[in-house]
Amino acid sequence: MTQQNDLMTREEVLALLEIKPATLYAYVSRGLIRARPHEDGRKSLYLRRDVERLGTRKRGRAPTGSVAESTLRFGDPVLHTAITQITPHGPRYRNRMATDLASAGASFESVVHLLMTGIWQDSIAVWPQVDTPPDVLRFLSTYDSEVASSDIGNLLGMVPFALAMHGRGPREIADGSAVQAARLMLHCMAGCVGFLGPKREYVARADEETVAAQILRAAGGEVTPENVRAVNAALVLTADNELAPATFAARVAASTNADLFSCVAAAIGSHIGFSTGTSTQKIETLLLCEPLDALDSRKDRVREYGASLFAFNHPLYPGGDARADLMLQLAAQAREVKGTDAKRAEDTRLTLDFLARMRDELSAHPGLAMGIVVLARALGLPDGTATAIWIVGRSAGWVAHVMEQRTQAFMLRPRAKYGFGSPVETAVAPAPAPSRK
């Protein structure tokens, strides 16, 4: 389920590389160009990335600009980082697999510290209490609860900007207090989940409360050790995924010496774009909507829009996303907990069975967004909570990348390759006539 504009037809490949069909088949058999089946089942499509890379090799060393252009198109790494490595089994945070950390019950707070500092301290369970600034509380108290509950992503995007006010942004840079600022921001974001819960208002952190417990309580969920561990695992699994578009946006902002709050706000603005973070909302409203016993009738939606709308088959994890698989396992376990609401347990069963069929019949592997939505619903949390968990969790990675970008001390400023129809000729003014004096 690769995006259509990332694929090329046979004729396009032959024209671009100036080769014969037999040569193309040889490239495919040698693994130099990867093929994907056409929807009609009789033809093949070819990955544009592989074709363009091979074309560059055939022409010799490409100019620097051409190399940079190809890497910016979901291609090779363009920045050095020591934070996260992508593996077939999911992201590895500073040499620790995210799935291992989540399965072992490592606290989100410890993982945040690891990402930001490179230091592992498994004893971190809660952070020191830091009160929400009064001006931020006043801002949130006047916010329309109905608007907030239906647009939680944009509300969370405003929290960093609110925290940057009254000189807190410049002080974060001047005082080097990024770690403390990040902790304050994460708990403020967690409190905004309260706009989705029964109170429809900001829920401040309680004494000695973890981020996961605050989210669960704010959303109106049952705060049990099992549920807290499940939300904590979701936060750990979403904490970073290397240079995702929103992460790159955070690094671009950091390279201009913007304060931490503004960098995270830039990342959230990118994350909630139609092609990325809003997939959680589209899953809730277009795919896993009521009635859930009619899920099989939506198989065509998965077939036609699985990658673009619902984030099936992440291109970095063609064999399936281990993070999503772990969250689906946690959802199945939540369904088996004694005393779980019967309808919720049945809805979870129907959902998991449907996803298993889509995997078998369409090779549609659920992505991270699907895992968060199914887990949040299995815990009885309101729709929108999945979006909030993803943003709160990923903010940890954004902060870490901001801090790393600052140490690299250069501005991220690619050049554009101008082109619009025919080349534009620059008009040259005629030379003045020589003076007769």
Q: Where are the domains of the chain?
A: 7-57, 89-407
Under 8 Å between Cβ of 279 and 309: yes
- 4 pLDDT more than 70: no
CATH architecture, range 89-407:
Orthogonal Bundle (1.10)
**Most confident region among 63-77, 235-249, 328-342 by mean pLDDT:** 235-249
Mean of per-residue pLDDT scores for the chain? 89
Write the pLDDT tens digit of every residue in 269-278.
999 988 888 8
Rounded Cα gap, residues 322 and 92, in angstroms: 12
pLDDT range class, residue 58, cuts 50, 70, 90: low
- For the chain, what percent of residues have pLDDT higher than 90? 70
* Residue 75 pLDDT greater than 70, yes or no: no
The per-residue pLDDT for 1 is: 44
Whole-number pLDDT of residue 258: 97
Strand 84-87 relative to strand 44-47, pairing:
unpaired
For residue 114, the model assigns a pLDDT of 97
- Side-chain half-sphere of 311: how many Cα atoms within 13 Å? 21
Whole-number Å distance between alpha carbons of 108 and 125? 8
Average pLDDT value for residue range 70-93: 82
Phi, psi for 79 (deg, rounded to 5) = -135, 145
Say if residue 400's pLDDT is above 70. Answer: yes
Would you state the torsion angle of the CA atoms of residues 398, 402, 403, 408, taken in this order, to the nearest 10 degrees? 140
Query: What pLDDT shows up at residue 2?
Result: 47
Taking a C-beta distance cutoff of 8 angstroms, is the pair 72, 78 a contact? yes
Q: What is the dihedral of CA 25, 26, 31, 35, to 10 degrees?
A: -10
pLDDT number for residue 150:
81
| 36 — pLDDT class (breaks 50, 70, 90) | confident
